[in-house]
Amino acid sequence: MCSRYSYSKYPNILNSEVNSRDTETTFDCQVFNVVVSSPEMAIKIMKTQDILSGGSETSATVVDWAMAEMMRNPRVMAKAQAEGFEIPSKTRVMIYAWAIGRDPNHWPQPEKLDPERFVNSSVDFTGTNFEFIPFGAGRRICPGLLFAVPNVELPLA
């Protein structure tokens, strides 16, 4: 939605409780996404900064909570809109899944064929890890996923 943004604008959230290795801002606005290591931290940031926070293991839940809070608290939504991030009705929003899957902030050496990057990683392609969404995510996720995966897996094996 919003462009990538540096933490420098929000130095107060760069504290020891936020693991810098895991941090990433993606929304250039007061309502933006911060990847943090725990739901507790996400909630803490959300409360103090009026921002939307999520994490690689916490995204689904925390983003839901944050969205609920935005709907409950119009001031947060108004702030985002005042900063120019209102998305007018009927706007076509394209999610650039190819680029997301090659974002060097999430994928070291993104162009390298490196299956081991998934060893001990909780990231998979079923639409719950938004850094990797080859089948999309959410309501319009590819319904052929369960058919497609074995049909790739078997020939590959």
Q: Give me the residues that bind ligand HEM (CB under 6 A), please.
A: 134-137, 140-144, 147-148, 152
Min separation Cβ 62 and ligand HEM, Å: 20
Choice between 77 and 141, CB closer to ligand HEM: 141
Are residues 32 and 100 in contact, defined by beta-carbon separation less than 8 angstroms? no
Neighbours of 72 (CB within 10 A): 9
Mapping DSSP to helix (H, G, I), strand (E, B) and coil, where does residue 68 land? helix
Residue 120 CA neighbour count, 13 Å, CB half: 0
Min separation Cβ 114 and ligand HEM, Å: 19
Min separation Cβ 98 and ligand HEM, Å: 10
Choice between 94 and 113, CB closer to ligand HEM: 94
Choice between 39 and 101, CB closer to ligand HEM: 101
What CA–CA distance (Å, rounded) separates 63 from 128?
Answer: 11
